[in-house]
Structure 1
């Protein structure tokens, strides 16, 4: 892609600059501002390694004898993941910037350059402070496998729903043959149908049902394969987390996806609870003084915490006693689950950080052992 460069002003020795980047699939747009908020220059580069190096060299030349404080990058989990990874490997500070305020966009208009400048100003003003995920380790592997598993599960559900709907309108003899069976028996019977030549409504119905049943079976096998991989990855990467009651491979995977491969970016268990949407926020009005759970955050992680809490409410004796005590105090089941999700978020955070610290200690111990020899 042909790059377009706006000629930068002369470097200033004491200048400190911030680079904001609006990322796209094939090209990125960057805008530089200084530490006083003055806009300096803009740059368009290709979204590849050559473009990333060009962007870094442009920023360094612009800073002169000063320094680049940070890069504010939009979409670090999507189009900006390659740029963020490149900058991090070169020792640059990268800040994740969310999409700009819609009201501001309506007032000031929208363009790639304006979005890039807004990203830089979000870093300068302190609105953007989040460290992006590194996406270069086991957590990224888990995320990719989890996406494949979840889409296969949705397709499997869609296949059996479609199959059952098709049976309702199938010819009477075929419908009666398949009626009143369990899902497993139904799938097996449909998969064993022999339609022959498709020259009648019965034959076409058999062909369609057989195809859907075969699809269901193939997706079921695929999901089992994904589950095996997720189980192995989560057990090896987060053994302490997996020891928790009700935290299986699926729940552990969602938790690790939230943390990413650099859990230190989540500074406290309160931050993690907010990321999962389990932190209480004020919901008071008039004389009432209440709280509710945040509806922001990672909704899949929130759902995973909910499933784990439900399991504990049935099989975990301390949780059962807690529920009984809080019920006697007048709390509703919904409020009790809210409290339990918050407690579980704290437990998950401590478990993940314990495993993270253990992994960090392994290379240190190995190097010390080598020196002792």
Structure 2
């Protein structure tokens, strides 16, 4: 069984949980280690107790650098009971530094995979800060055997022209993890709330965009209750002064808390008609290039996505002739797009989503197994077919003891 050490920047991130579940479903034996940014019991993975490397704070980049430096000094002690991995996966730049240290402690020749699913705005700056960070990324990733990213636009706009990384890219879109599906068979049948006012727009996942929140609040008041906004997930405290108070004071918005992904997706998407697949958090950069989780989640359950013109999400939808595209980031533009929505128009938009093959939206067990096999190939390239040894064995047996 392939031994995988997964290093996470945020143990409470639901996306980390999904990746761990995928690796386990693919046949990997996973050790999870990383930093704690906040509490989220719904991010726990049954049977896996994470190794905590320290605490970090969202939006505090300098603090995170210090935490990473401290963790590298204590890593030998923290990983003393961990078997030598066959592969190390580092999620985000700071974990790439930890991965390099871990590889050295385990005796070297452990392939490192760099997983980067967002491009932080600091990485794109044209000044010395941006150049220094890109140089650090290229240095830390110079021996990475593989780069995992989630959107072709990240490769086109950042990794190829700017990053300096030489690792071959592997595109793994933010599809819904569904290990029960074979991605074949009859087209799915979806059940919707009554098609008519109040139409419901779901904004689920990482809630970090103040501009979206303000736009949707203005829009729903303009529509006088004909549209409602349902919010689920983890609001970013660094981006909102008082998220829950703001939502409570909005007559046509409600926040229904966190959820388990993928277990709760059928229920939460079954409560809405549309998916808000727009993010202005890093407008013109990361937000324009990403393909968000909610895009795949909503379409997996037949919800009609709303995307922003000029983004990779809009291009993705256009290629498949599904979804709705907002021309301008304003309540008036949104009203022009969907304000006069009718049951027939909605039914047509939903039907077009149902005509897409389900593999467009899901990452199934076969995909999980193929991913683990890809990592196993890296291991064979690095050090042959020898199984991973326990850390308690003598060093002269190549155990990788810390």
Q: Normalised by the size of structure 2, how large is the TM-score?
A: 0.25
Task: Decide which structure has greater helix share.
Answer: 1
Q: Normalised by the size of structure 1, how large is the TM-score?
A: 0.27
- Compare relative contact order (CA 8 Å, sep 6+) and give the higher one, 1 or 2: 2
Q: Which structure has the larger Rg?
A: 1
